[in-house]
Amino acid sequence: MARDEIRYRSGYKYQLSVGCKVKVCITPAEPINTEFIKLGTDGTLVIKRGYAWDGPSGPTIDTRNFMRGSLVHDALYQLMRDAGLSKEQWRDEADLELKRVCRADGMSRIRAWWVHRGVRIGGDPSASPESRKPIWSAP
């Protein structure tokens, strides 16, 4: 009898239990649809139930006013890595969306500025296809 095998990716801390919809300033020429993320030409970003992300990155604390921003930012970066959203055209805007959402959720102006500086300095590789998380298998 053949053994069953699973395939998985590591590196995720959170998973949406309910989908969400956010209006962003990123408006691709064509809609983008993946298993868990949709981005319309009007900037409507839909992230489906079950989507997993790693939360705020870097030397930071995962606070409530950072969670939605990190979700939106991670989803947009994933579209750049995996679904053809132009990194050259939209990365700056994705980083600004992180700051905008965090501010809307009550993050202080200075912390939001530091968060934005952090992704501007260190985020570029995460938006590149080369940074895709590898698929592992077991057993």
pLDDT digits (tens, 9 = 90+) for 46-88: 999 999 999 998 888 999 999 999 999 999 999 999 999 999 9
Q: DSSP secondary-structure letter at 4?
A: P
Residue 1's pLDDT band (cuts 50, 70, 90): very low
97 located within any domain: yes
77 located within any domain: yes
Evaluated on CA atoms 102, 19, 12, 132, the torsion sign reads negative
Alpha helices in the chain (DSSP H): 64-82, 87-104, 109-122
Residue 2's pLDDT band (cuts 50, 70, 90): low
Residue 139's pLDDT band (cuts 50, 70, 90): confident
44 located within any domain: yes
pTM score: 0.90
1 located within any domain: no
Give the chain's domain count.
1
85 located within any domain: yes
DSSP per-residue letters across 96-132: HHHHHHHHHTT--HHHHHHHHHHHHHH-GGGGSGGGP
72 located within any domain: yes
45 located within any domain: yes
Q: What tokens were used for 57? A: 């990155």
Domain of 52 in residue numbering reads as 10-133
